[in-house]
Chains A and B, each alone.
Chain A
Amino acid sequence: MIGARRRDVRGRPALALGLLVGVAVTFAGCGQTPAPVEPGSSRGSAGPLIVSSGCIAEQIEANPAALYFAVTNRGPDDDALVGVIADGVDRADIHRTVARGGIAWMEPASEVAIPAGGSVRFVPGGHHVMLQTSSRRLRRGATVGVQLVFRRAGTVPLQIPVVAYADLDRLLGQASPRIGAGPS
């Protein structure tokens, strides 16, 4: 597992940084809060899986964008996210940010477990899908067609709004872990 230092300060819920197993979350992010940045619904489902709260943090210049969402598994079987396809995007890689020895890393994750009866939330500082394009295409205000591919449940198609990085605080900040601290 990982050596992330987790803190629960000022009532902020502590979130496991690894396989966010069994963490009950309240979906108050981009999927359900009516917000001016949201051009359409980012809710979708396949079998017992419900995906919500989807948003993409825009590209800065031609740098990668980051996709976040939440998945709830209402079924009796474990599932796993195994791939992501996004319209107009050259590469979509599942990553997680981990902390090791006071250093934050981006690690590739070949799949992310979605346990039976559980919820997993992709948030800054936890899991994200890195979206790469050769030019700056993913700008705030746009909507991107995304397909999340799960091992058992199949594909969930979504329309996901692109937002500014500053909007993530309002949309997902409550669920983000704290990483890094004073001198080691």
Chain B
Amino acid sequence: MRPADRVSRLAAAALFAGAVALAGAGCRPAAEGPSARELGQLHGEVRQVPDPVPDFTLTDTAGHPFRFRKEADRSLTLLYFGYTRCPDICPVHMANLAVVLKDLPWELRQRIKVVFVTTDPDRDTSAVLRQWLDAFDPTFVGLSGPVAQVNAAQALLGIPPVVREERASGDYVVGHAAQVIAFTPDGRTRVDYPFGTRQADWAHDLPLLAGVARTGP
């Protein structure tokens, strides 16, 4: 195929895809993000600069590569970095999200993905991670990879690297960021939800972030 042909075919394909997306969502593109007014209503902390969804790849609990930018496309994706032996922060976030998601209308729930990246890959094998996440919601995605790769992903999001601290008991603890990060369906890194975010905050914000309030089911 000549380069010119290739370009024109790609352009045609892009136009077609755009038209399909527009048609599918009535007069508004399906992957639109929250409006400025909606952002102002959110209970989470809206980022000043809504960077594109970072492009990193880690491994899911089935052993398959999970390319975050691709998987987050056109969905509301909630990302958290933590570890399963954490008794105080990580399970509270996951339990709160799970219980709120359970009460959402089916259509809205289908648009939301929760992704948990382990900061303790030595102890959190894929089986351990899968069992732990299943205790909250079997649809939660668990990702793992070498700590250097996890830190690289965190760096793309402006959050500090994982710190492992050995204890005299021979045990160790893992210091990690405490917020859930929300990526909106328009492919932007939008909102941080610190630890302390309540179930009522999630119930309020998730429909706004998913754009359901505007585009309807």
A residues contacting B by CB (< 8 A) are 7, 10, 12, 57, 60-61, 63-66, 95, 97, 99-106, 108, 124-125, 128, 130, 164-166, 168-169, 173, 176-184
Closest to B99 in A: A166
B residues contacting A by CB (< 8 A) are 43, 45, 47-48, 84-89, 91-92, 94-96, 98-99, 128, 131-132, 135-136, 157-160, 163, 165, 167, 173, 175-179, 192, 194-199
Bound form: Cα–Cα A124–B94 in Å: 13
Bound form: Cα–Cα A173–B45 in Å: 18
Contacts of B192 in A (CB 8 A): 180-183
Bound form: Cα–Cα A108–B163 in Å: 16
Q: Per a CB cutoff under 8 Å, which of A61, A97, A169, A178 touches B194?
A: A178
Taking a contact as CB atoms under 8 Å apart, the answer to whether A60 and B88 are in contact is: no
Query: How many contacts between A and B, using CB within 8 angstroms?
Result: 127
Bound form: Cα–Cα A184–B165 in Å: 21
Knowing A66-B87, A102-B159, A124-B89, say if A178 contacts B195 (CB, 8 Å).
yes
Contacts of A179 in B (CB 8 A): 89, 178, 194-196
Bound form: Cα–Cα A99–B194 in Å: 11
Taking a contact as CB atoms under 8 Å apart, the answer to whether A63 and B85 are in contact is: yes
Contacts of A176 in B (CB 8 A): 195-196
Closest chain B CB from A170 CB (angstroms): 8
Bound form: Cα–Cα A64–B91 in Å: 11
Contacts of A66 in B (CB 8 A): 87-88
Contacts of A128 in B (CB 8 A): 87-88
